Amino acid sequence: RSIKKHFPIKKGLLMKQAGSIKAVDGVDLDVMQQETLGLVGESGCGKSTLGKMIVQLLAPTEGEIRFEGTNLATLSHQTTVRKNIQMIFQDPYSSLNPRQKIGDILTEPFRIHQMDSHESKERMLYLLDKVGLNPGHANRYPHEFSGGQRQRIGIARALALKPKMVVCDEPVAALDVSIQSQIVNLLEDLQAEFQMSYLFIAHDLAVVRHISHRIGVMYLGSIVELAEAEELFSNPQHPYTKVLLSSIPVQHPRMKRTPLILKGDLPNPTNPPSGCKFHTRCPYAEAKCGKETPALKGSAFHQVACHLVSS
């Protein structure tokens, strides 16, 4: 609810006065049980920062993150509620300790939660099997695996404590295209089996469309459009969403689509534009757009934050 993350920056060579980077600037979002909520937007729009706040790698500057009604900020570090929310990282290479055997990587969460060693070994072998890895490979080190296999290890580690909510931060972006769909399918199978919710952050729109039930579009720290996946693709309303979707390559050679081009660069997030943050680049901007911030409104099925779109 009303989540903000502003990173303070000091006065210095580049900054005439102290300020802050407004990475996430007032986001309201609900993720339902067993739902995959996709989150898209250009790099620097705040997607990863939002994900890191949900798993509590970062604390929000303002606002509340609630899990099943409980404000996470009020919980102590030891609480078991925290294990319900886990993260899968973009880069399977750097997120695994190269000096640890994967069996040890996967049993570490159990040691922290004081599970006995027999039970934790059983569970580790079960997890390897669930993510499609040979349980006989538990004694190997991360470098002995391919990129796709390493991401399977990352997924197994995230699932170790039976989470109900998993933040997937560009989980297939570092993988070969041929491997991506295997990992996306694995995530879907695991979601059905373990009844988890995903926040799925990505900038590959085809992947997001495939896996998501609903999709949120972010621009400069705010959600500008939120809709059911097929609705968003067939009926985009926000001018920024239209630009994003127009950039997807069309497979069919005889079908042509002219990509819409944005004027200007992404504005500086330390000093975002007033009113609608998109007004400096929006082809439809009116005088009102620079003064009044449009609220995200509409039905549960489709919400848009734009003065020109009436709900």
Pick 110 or 200: Cβ nearer Mg ion: 200
How far from 281 is each of 13, 85, 135, 212, CA to CA, in Å? 28, 36, 52, 28
Q: Tell me if 164 sits within 8 A of 84, measured CB to CB.
A: yes
Q: Is 95 in the site for Mg ion (CB under 5 A)?
A: no
Pick 6 or 279: Cβ nearer ligand SF4: 279
Name which of ligand SF4, Mg ion, none residue 120 binds, using a CB cut-off of 5 to 8 Å depending on partner kind: none
Residue 26 to residue 223: CA distance in whole angstroms: 9
Q: How far apart are the first and last CA of the chain?
A: 22
Neighbouring C-beta atoms of residue 6, cutoff 10 Å? 18
Per CB under 6 A, contacts with ligand SF4 among 213-272 are 238-239
Tell me the closest approach of the beta carbon of residue 309 to ligand SF4, in angstroms: 7
Residue 113 to residue 287: CA distance in whole angstroms: 57
**Binding flags for Mg ion, 46-85, as an x/- string (CB under 5 A):** --x-------------------------------------
Q: Is 86 in the site for Mg ion (CB under 5 A)?
A: no
Name which of ligand SF4, Mg ion, none residue 48 binds, using a CB cut-off of 5 to 8 Å depending on partner kind: Mg ion
Residue 167 to residue 11: CA distance in whole angstroms: 34
- Which tokens hold the place of 88? 């899968």
Tell me the closest approach of the beta carbon of residue 276 to ligand SF4, in angstroms: 3
Pick 245 or 289: Cβ nearer ligand SF4: 289
Pick 126 or 284: Cβ nearer ligand SF4: 284
Q: Is 285 in the site for ligand SF4 (CB under 6 A)?
A: yes
Tell me the closest approach of the beta carbon of residue 5 to ligand SF4, in angstroms: 22
Residue 176 to residue 179: CA distance in whole angstroms: 5
